[in-house]
A and B are shown apart, each in its own frame.
Chain A
Amino acid sequence: MPLNKLWTLAARDLGRNRRRSILTLLAVALGLALLMVMNGYIAGVTEDTLQNSIRLRTGHVQIRASSYEEDELSLQAKDLLANPDELTARVSTLSEVKAAAPVLWASGILETHDDSAGLQIYGIDTASPMYAPIQAAMISGEFLTPDDRNGILIGKPLADSMNVGAGQKVNLAIVNSDGRPDEGTFTIRGLFATGIPSYDQSVAFMPLSKAQAFTGTNRHASAIFILLNNQADTEKVAAALRGPDVKVLTWSDLNQVFVQTMQTSMSFYAILDFIVMLIVAVIIANTLLMSVFERIREMGILAALGMKGRNILQMFLLEAAGLGLAGIVVGIVLGSAGVAYLATNGIPIGDQVAAVGGSSLALGTTLYARFVPGTFAALSLAMLLIVVLASLYPAWYAARLEPVEALRAE
């Protein structure tokens, strides 16, 4: 029997019990919409957090001295890059590189008369486009200039917690490159708010030359920070920069905890996806089984007319596919609306929750979903496959009915 005629039969059978068909279609649609929103949200949170981290904390690639340990924030000459300007100039010649700048890190304690807080000092090339996100995030005061000898920038949450503001003086204590404690008085030139509480509470910026002088590290740097035009070029650039005296780290190495955590979480989310699909599969199988049981005598008539089991199987599979496809179309519309809403408005999680991850997790205070067409297409296909698989048993049951038994059915 021609497939288009079988399709006509299947489509009309779906219209036979409209309420049941619509409810089943909605189950497929809502299941897919839920999966799209869930996966879009997870993808948004994951990608935004990673990009925040790359933009503010790690860059795409870093060059460090071979012996540098990030946890120690060592200021000893042996752990630092002795020729950062030369390295930066070399890196900047690569066409894939968007920006490269040396940075010096030190741990310090910010003190006022009443309060103190530990933080990480970033000695930065203030003229580098690398820090455009910080310039854009300035909410009071002004950004640093290269020759500023006693200015620093701190985050607004830190300033609020210490009751200080732009223009006020604060004390900064460090352990310098010789291992001796040192301190200096600095003026808060401005406050920034990147929207990443864990970052804004724990970082202070000062010009690189001042940081080098303050810490006694001469013209050394902790690392060369590199941003690329295209993240996909990371391995290529890293390979080009590897050398005997330096270690080259990529964003993947530098965000290892986050990347591994997300990979582990993905297994959990995959189980959630599977459970949603399983529920949809049970609903579809139930609907089609009911449909088969209601039409057993009709199957007998079709068999008496000479329709083979294969055709009856095809007819039920087409019914399921029709129901599944319609449900998927509605699901894509509903899911896209949900993802669009969450991509625009996000879900606010508050400063305290956002800061829970600490400095290794650059969570924003509002988490947004994003469209991931490849994932959505895969989910839609998986849903269609599940629907067809779920219909196999009812279809097979109908196809195996003995005509004489089927005709006897009430």
Chain B
Amino acid sequence: MEAIQLEHVTKAYHIGAVETKALNDVNLSVAEGEFTALVGPSGSGKTTLLQLIGCLDKPDQGAVKIKGQDVTRLTGNQRADLRRERIGFIFQFFALVPVLTAYENVELPLLLNGVKPKERRERVIELLEAVGVSHRANHRPVQMSGGEQQRVAIARALASRPVLVLADEPTANLDTANGQQAMEIMRRLNEETGTAFVYATHDPRVVAFAHRVVNMRDGRITDNGAHA
């Protein structure tokens, strides 16, 4: 089954009287378990596409479906529920909550989902070990390196066993070695869990990890399926 389907999706931004089309009649399907790279120059619409798939924003036209469910007509709270249960996010700027430890950051989605304490503890430890930062469990973000923070962010994105993880430039703030390591972890977890990953990048070394590469330019998809 398709994890994501986008049908004739259009999204425009207005700055004063000027309208800029960030996405223009985009159609895209991503299958369950796929590891997909969105590639394109700055301003091509990658981030907007990820935000629409992630139910963080609504399209002006067209439909966005997650596991067959049209999410474009959902209310704010319903979209929050969907994000909490089915979607994980990895951001370029790591985006950990600064006052929480690594353990607590990974625990946060589980708390939001009402997971019981014992199961929560086991899941957090399992994930921190899977991304190799269990020794940093009680450290706050400011006490960790960028690579470690991003690995905690990957663990957090997978905490609630989502069907889909969206990553916006996940290696842009990392050096080559840490970027490589983060991608290897994402790829390994994709294979182990069957969770679909869609990540935006313009780094060719990062593109190389993808099963499938979707090229974008000027708000349109120019190549819908070249496999790496």
Chain A interface residues toward B at CB < 8 A: 1-2, 5, 8-9, 12-13, 15-16, 297-298, 301-309, 311, 402-404, 407
B38-46, B76-84, B185-193, B195-203: which lies at the interface? B76-84
- The verdict on B112 contacting chain A, using a C-beta distance below 8 Å, is yes
Contact B99 A1 (CB under 8 A): no
Contact B111 A1 (CB under 8 A): yes
Q: Which residues of A contact B83 (CB under 8 A)?
A: 303-306
Q: Which residues of B contact A305 (CB under 8 A)?
A: 83-84, 89, 108-109, 112, 156
- Nearest A residue (CB) for B85: A306
We find that the number of chain B residues with CB closer than 8 angstroms to chain A is 26
Mask, B107-124, CB within 8 Å of A = 1, is 011011100000000000
- Min CB distance A178 to B, Å, is 90
Contact B89 A304 (CB under 8 A): yes
B49-57, B144-152, B209-217: which lies at the interface? B49-57
- Nearest B residue (CB) for A310: B77
State in angstroms the CA–CA spacing of A13 and B85 once bound together: 26
Contact A16 B98 (CB under 8 A): yes
- The verdict on B97 contacting chain A, using a C-beta distance below 8 Å, is yes
Question: Taking A304-B89, A305-B108 as contacts, is the C-beta distance between A404 and B80 under 8 angstroms?
Answer: no
Question: Taking A2-B111, A13-B99, A298-B98 as contacts, is the C-beta distance between A304 and B85 under 8 angstroms?
Answer: no
State in angstroms the CA–CA spacing of A304 and B113 once bound together: 13
Q: CB < 8 Å: which of A9, A301, A302, A311 contacts B91?
A: A301
- Min CB distance A55 to B, Å, is 60
- What are 11 pairs between A and B in contact, CB < 8 Å? A8-B104, A297-B95, A298-B98, A304-B83, A305-B89, A305-B108, A306-B84, A306-B112, A311-B112, A403-B56, A403-B57
- Nearest B residue (CB) for A12: B99
- Min CB distance A346 to B, Å, is 48
- The verdict on B100 contacting chain A, using a C-beta distance below 8 Å, is yes
Q: Which residues of B contact A308 (CB under 8 A)?
A: 77, 80
Q: Which residues of B contact A402 (CB under 8 A)?
A: 57
- Min CB distance A100 to B, Å, is 70
Given contacts A1-B111, A5-B111, A298-B98, 13 further A-B contacts (CB under 8 A): A2-B111, A301-B91, A303-B56, A303-B80, A304-B56, A304-B89, A305-B84, A305-B108, A305-B109, A306-B83, A306-B113, A307-B84, A404-B57
- Nearest A residue (CB) for B94: A301
Q: Which residues of A contact B95 (CB under 8 A)?
A: 297, 301, 304
Q: Which residues of B contact A311 (CB under 8 A)?
A: 112
- Min CB distance A399 to B, Å, is 10
Residue with the greatest number of chain A CB neighbours at <10 A, chosen from B57, B111, B156? B111
Q: Which residues of B contact A403 (CB under 8 A)?
A: 56-57
- Min CB distance A285 to B, Å, is 22
- Nearest B residue (CB) for A9: B99
Q: Which residues of B contact A303 (CB under 8 A)?
A: 56, 80, 83
State in angstroms the CA–CA spacing of A70 and B103 once bound together: 81
Contact B109 A306 (CB under 8 A): yes
Q: Which residues of A contact B57 (CB under 8 A)?
A: 402-404
State in angstroms the CA–CA spacing of A376 and B51 once bound together: 52
State in angstroms the CA–CA spacing of A339 and B68 once bound together: 69
Q: Which residues of B contact A302 (CB under 8 A)?
A: 97
Contact B56 A404 (CB under 8 A): yes
- Min CB distance B223 to A, Å, is 26
Contact B99 A15 (CB under 8 A): yes
Contact B51 A404 (CB under 8 A): yes
Mask, B60-98, CB within 8 Å of A = 1, is 000000000000000011001111110001010001011
State in angstroms the CA–CA spacing of A301 and B56 once bound together: 10
- Min CB distance B97 to A, Å, is 6
Question: Taking A12-B100, A301-B97, A304-B83 as contacts, is the C-beta distance between A407 and B111 under 8 angstroms?
Answer: no
Q: Which residues of B contact A13 (CB under 8 A)?
A: 99
Which B residues between 159 and 188 are near A, CB-CB below 8 angstroms? none
